[in-house]
Amino acid sequence: MGDDHDEGERAPSLSMNRGGVALMSTSHLVNDFYQGVVPALLPFLAAERHYSYAAIAGLTLAATLISSVAQPVFGVLGDRRPRRWLIGAGMLTAGVGLALVGLAHSYPLTWILIAISGFGIAAFHPEAARAARLAGGPSNRAMSIFALGGNGGYALGSLVATPVFLLLGVRGTPLLLIPAAVMATILALRLRRVLDGRSGRRRAAAMPTGRDDWPEFVKLIVVVVIRSILFLGITSFIGLYFIRELHTSESVGGAALTVFLVTGAAGTLLGGWVADRSNRLMSIQAGFVLTVPALAGLVFTRSWPATLAFVALTGIALYLPFAVFIMLGQDYLPNRIGTASGVTVGLGVSVGGLFSPLLGTFADHTSLRVMFTALIVLPVLGLALTWFMRDPSGPGTRARPRSGRPVPRA
């Protein structure tokens, strides 16, 4: 290692920095909490301020598309010079933006504030994914724990925000700033020490090395988009499918979405475990293979309890490769960790989201059952594409610690 490292740091360990992984996963939970608040907020905005469906769709666009497109930009900036302070600042911006929505009364200002919140969420992700990789090293399980934090935060946002809005209405949004304020304070006090150690010097870590492989990265993004179309198609329409095709109550329809997201959390952890014990491509392929019978069962069963079981299997299957996508992207572009993280987390999701209106139009002209049947083609296509990809770490190998060059400070 360089001369600026003490003797204890010259023999780097590839063990997981559990404190660092826990801190980054918790901060991911708080950050993505604000993504989950927006869907819960929209019905109350529509009711109190009499917004049209088009206006509500515009707010959804402000929250998602701007955030997703901005994430790769923040990734590129981070690759030029790491900006670790964006982890706390981005999260706090996300909280402030949504907190002020209840105090704004014009639609344009509401739109801008929700866009600012999405912008903060975008600023958080690339640097947070870089820090999670630094803490977890080559462990896919560590990255799956980081990803699980985001999944949990999204689900928690709706669960926490809805009672607040039922009690106080939209004017209760300032209360939602509390999680971001607390977590940003913790990060300001603890982040550097937890990630870098008592000395404040960067710990040796198993970060990817080598040349950037753009052709493989492009293949990965195509697979990410396919998974995104599946994911957003299911989350957008699974509740309606239970209500209109299986003739259940609205509560059962809502429960179906909850089951999908909760079992997805288990799938995220399982995907990291599979990747660590075989290879990353095996985890992605297993997810697509399981998705085919899961979707088929969802479509062809007529009993809603049985269909709910297939929803659970679909959640596990679709989330299996979630964290692996981030790890593979970083390994394909080892010199552009921020860019890889921003694109895999952000841009791939937004491109997939552009297909949701097309799926809705297709369902309007046929039925939700036909639309879900058509989705079965996508995991087959994704599985076929993975056979043309390679795992840069190779079977049974691990990433090597970086050495011989200083690491710029955030």
In the chain, what are the domain boundaries? 17-196, 214-386
What per-residue confidence (pLDDT) applies to 375? Answer: 94
* Average pLDDT score, the chain: 83
b/e 239-251 (16+ beta carbons within 10 angstroms → b): bebbbebbebeee
What pLDDT, in 10s, does the model give residues 169-202?
999 999 999 999 999 999 999 888 888 776 555 5
Alpha carbons 220 and 284: distance in angstroms, whole number: 10
Do residues 359 and 234 lie in contact, with contact meaning Cβ atoms separated by under 8 Å? no
CB neighbours of residue 59 within 10 Å: 22
Determine whether 189 is exposed, middle or buried from the number of CB atoms within 10 Å of its CB (0-12, 13-18, 19+): exposed
What per-residue confidence (pLDDT) applies to 204? Answer: 47
Distances (CA, A) of 41 to 7, 24, 28, 59, 163: 53, 26, 20, 10, 11
Q: Which CATH superfamily is domain 214-386 in?
A: MFS general substrate transporter like domains (1.20.1250.20)
Alpha carbons 286 and 299: distance in angstroms, whole number: 20
What per-residue confidence (pLDDT) applies to 212? Answer: 87
Q: Fold identical between 17-196 and 214-386?
A: yes
The fold of the 17-196 domain, in CATH, is Growth Hormone; Chain: A; (1.20.1250)
- The pTM of this model reads 0.76
User: In the chain, which stretches have pLDDT less than 70?
Assistant: 1-15, 198-209, 347-350, 353, 394-410
What per-residue confidence (pLDDT) applies to 206? Answer: 57
- Run of H or E residues at 52: none
What per-residue confidence (pLDDT) applies to 10? Answer: 34
